[in-house]
């Protein structure tokens, strides 16, 4: 058994067109959530909530960096970059992104994601659950802006809101 660590890379997604000639890249949200929430459950049981949240954020961050490099264009001016990000998130069914506040001088942002892939329609638990999204945003901005960020979800379907809101600050 080989326990050598290997980090996720975009190529790990594989050749979807070749491998899924009938279904292509289409998948039901139900299947994604089965994977996501069952994995979260197993991780929480094994490692606790704090470690699970940390690991989901870090997985999202890694995915966000690869997503930015391979799906977006980090060389675009900010208005065009965020327009492309919004377009790609909608095309891929991740959610409907809106930029509520963008302060590039102080590197403070507030964005919302409606119809979020991770949580829209789930039961209200009183906790925010879009930890992967926090990391995804973190990784995207890290590559685009070249700085580290703290991303905190403040509003979430699972705490009774109809949209996810993320407060973002450069560190």
Mean pLDDT of the chain: 93
Burial class (CB in 10 A: 0-12, 13-18, 19+), 34: exposed
What three-state secondary structure class fits 167? strand
117: DSSP letter: T
In a domain, 68, yes or no: yes
* Residue 115 structural domain: 14-170
pLDDT band of 18, cuts 50, 70, 90: very high
Mean pLDDT of 74-87: 96
pLDDT at 2: 61
In a domain, 5, yes or no: no
How far apart CA 34 and CA 6 sit, in angstroms, is 25
pLDDT digits (tens, 9 = 90+) for 120-131: 999 999 999 999
∠ CA 152-90-132, rounded to 5°: 30
In a domain, 45, yes or no: yes
In a domain, 6, yes or no: no
Tokens 């949209």 sit on residue: 163
Which CATH number is 72's domain given? 3.30.1380.20
In a domain, 36, yes or no: yes
User: What is the number of structural domains in the chain?
Assistant: 1
Whether the per-residue pLDDT at 147 is higher than 60: the answer is yes
In a domain, 47, yes or no: yes
pLDDT at 61: 97
Tokens 């993320």 sit on residue: 166
Mean pLDDT of 10-35: 91
Whether the per-residue pLDDT at 1 is higher than 80: the answer is no
pLDDT band of 139, cuts 50, 70, 90: very high
How far apart CA 39 and CA 34 sit, in angstroms, is 8
Mean pLDDT of 66-76: 96
In a domain, 7, yes or no: no
In a domain, 123, yes or no: yes
């Amino acid at each position: 058994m080989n326990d050598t660590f290997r980090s996720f890379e975009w190529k790990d997604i594989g050749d979807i067109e070749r491998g899924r000639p009938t279904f292509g890249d289409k998948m039901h949200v139900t299947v994604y959530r089965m994977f996501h929430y069952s994995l979260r459950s197993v991780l929480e049981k094994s490692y606790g909530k704090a470690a699970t949240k940390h690991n989901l954020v870090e997985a999202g961050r890694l995915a966000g960096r690869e997503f930015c490099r391979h799906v977006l264009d980090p060389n675009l001016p900010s208005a065009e970059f965020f327009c492309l990000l919004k377009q790609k998130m909608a095309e891929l069914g991740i959610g409907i992104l809106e930029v509520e506040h963008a302060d590039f001088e102080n590197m403070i942002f507030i964005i919302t994601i409606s119809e979020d892939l991770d949580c829209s329609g789930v039961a209200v638990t009183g906790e925010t659950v879009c930890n992967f999204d926090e990391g995804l945003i973190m990784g995207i901005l890290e590559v685009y802006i070249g700085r580290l960020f703290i991303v905190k979800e403040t509003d979430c379907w699972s705490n009774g809101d109809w949209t996810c809101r993320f407060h973002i600050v450069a560190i």
